[in-house]
Amino acid sequence: MSKVYLSSPHMSGNEQPYIQEAFDLNWVAPLGNNVNGFEQELSSYNGVAHTTVLSSGTAAIHLALRILEVEPDDHVFVSSLTFVATANPVLYEHANPVFIDSEPDTWNMSPVALERALQDFDKAGQLPKAVIVVNLYGQSAKMDEIMSVCNSYGVPVIEDAAESLGSEYKGQKSGTFGHFGIYSFNGNKIITTSGGGALVSNDEAAIQKARFLSTQARDPAVHYEHSQVGYNYRMSNIVAGVGRGQLEVLDQRVQQRRAVFKRYYDAFHQIDGISFQPELEGTYSNKWLTALTIDPKQTGVSRDHIIESLSENNIEARPVWKPMHLQPLFEGSIYYPHQIDDSVSEKLFKDGICLPSGSNLAIEDQERVIKIILVVLN
């Protein structure tokens, strides 16, 4: 049986002309027409004023923290239910991550827990330098509530939209609500440049500084003059060409992933003990991954049993992210649950599963996945 992946790259066929142009002009790296074009096209698509394309989404978060002047021993609030790349850049600056739980309506950052944390840190005179909110698996967080509480304390927001390019919240593109937004073009994302990311903002000076820092922070001079620490974070012209070809089919990829989700939903939603990640009213998710929880008490089957059964049939499935506050790397970090006695992210991790969701997932392969799960449940 052929391998069924969780989310494999899906090329459009439009990439090659952009790559060939880079070769023809001999603009291979670091910059060129594709970099400029990709930045302009991303800005236009997302309705945001300024974009810089980088080597990864992680690099984008790191630069956002640098520009917001996060320093050693500062605090940064971070969604706990996320991939480690969201939190690692906080450690790059020797700052302290404070993890905020999810809430059940989106599985994203709890505005209730966030406000409780801000109140506590405000009383202690230690407000965070930033809040990093994640849009998990393509679903936007409750951005109205999160922006409202952060604005009331004057704390800037970094919107980690690594998984949610193409999603919308009340008609506005994901990644455009905070002071900064970040996207990822890793190989498993809804569009890919093999590896890459972007930082977006309506703050022109901030994006100009990001470009400066991402190209080794070279000061204006005939010789190589450096007065600040810089990074080799800029996207290459060839990689940007791949991104331009991918961006042309982004809306199509969203529709394909939503179709994958619907087939799973139609197959499982009426089964007691199975609950899908909700799509909040007024939002439009790209459904990057189809995620659901399986209650073993109601189904008689554990999440791990289903993952093992799929693996035996050459099908990749994974648990939802392990919350950052449970990771050995962040042992001892402060954590604010949704309610004092209710840790939503821990429950989601215990029973949550992500199913194969690629936009190039063949219907017959998805039917294989569905059939195996139904057999296990029965």
> Tens digits of per-residue pLDDT, 277-291?
999 999 999 999 999
Q: What residues does 159 pair with on adjacent strands?
A: 133, 181
pTM over 0.85: yes
Sign of torsion over alpha carbons 10, 11, 12, 18: positive
**Bond from prior residue into 323 cis (ω within 30 degrees of 0):** no
Q: What is the pLDDT of residues 320-371, one digit of tens each?
A: 999 999 999 999 999 999 999 999 999 999 999 999 999 999 999 999 999 9
Q: Is 315 helix (H, G, I), strand (E, B) or coil?
A: strand
Compute the average pLDDT of residues 272-301. 98
CA dihedral sign of residues 162, 166, 169, 174: positive
Q: Is 375 left (phi over 0), alpha (psi -120 to 50) or beta?
A: alpha
R_g of the chain, CA atoms, integer Å? 21
Give the model's pLDDT for residue 30.
77
**pLDDT surpasses 90 at 1:** no
Decide: 336 and 99 in contact? Cβ < 8 Å. yes
The residue type at 260: V
> In three state form, how does the secondary structure of 242-281 look?
HHHHHHCCHHHHHHHHHHHHHHHHHHHCCCCCEEECCCCC
CB 55 within 8 A of CB 195: yes
Mean pLDDT of 180-201: 97
Q: What are phi and psi of 150, to 5 degrees?
A: -70, -40
Angle, vertex CA 110, rays to CA 65 and CA 181, nearest 5: 35
Give 187's Cβ-side CA count (13 Å radius).
Answer: 4
CB contact at 8 A, 317 and 292: no
First to last CA, the chain: 23
Alpha-helical segments (H) within 190-236: 204-214
* Biggest distance spanned by C-alpha atoms of the chain: 72
Kindly report, residue by residue over 34-69, the tens digit of the pLDDT. 999 999 999 999 999 999 999 999 999 999 999 999
pLDDT class for 26, splitting at 50, 70, 90? very high
Q: Which domains, ranges and CATH numbers included, belong to the chain?
A: 15-247 (3.40.640.10), 250-377 (3.90.1150.10)
What does the alpha-carbon distance between residue 46 and residue 34 come to, in Å, rounded to a whole number?
A: 18
Percent of the chain with pLDDT over 70: 100
Query: Is residue 126 within 8 Å of residue 55, measured between CB atoms?
Result: no
Q: What is the mean pLDDT of residues 173-187?
A: 98
CA atoms within 13 A on the CB side of 219: 7
Extract the tokens encoding 275.
Answer: 């609950």
- Average pLDDT value for residue range 84-105: 98
Q: What is the pLDDT of residue 28?
A: 87
Q: What is the DSSP string of 146-195?
A: HHHHHHHHT--EEEE-TT-TT-EETTEETT-SSSEEEEE--TTSSS--SS
Residue 317 contacts residue 307 (beta carbons within 8 Å) = yes
What's the CA angle centered on 90, arms 134 and 126, to 5 degrees? 95
Q: Quickly count: other Cβ atoms within 10 Å of residue 72's Cβ.
A: 8
With 90 as the cut, is the pLDDT of residue 31 above it?
no
- How far is Cα 135 from Cα 81, in angstroms, rounded to an integer? 10
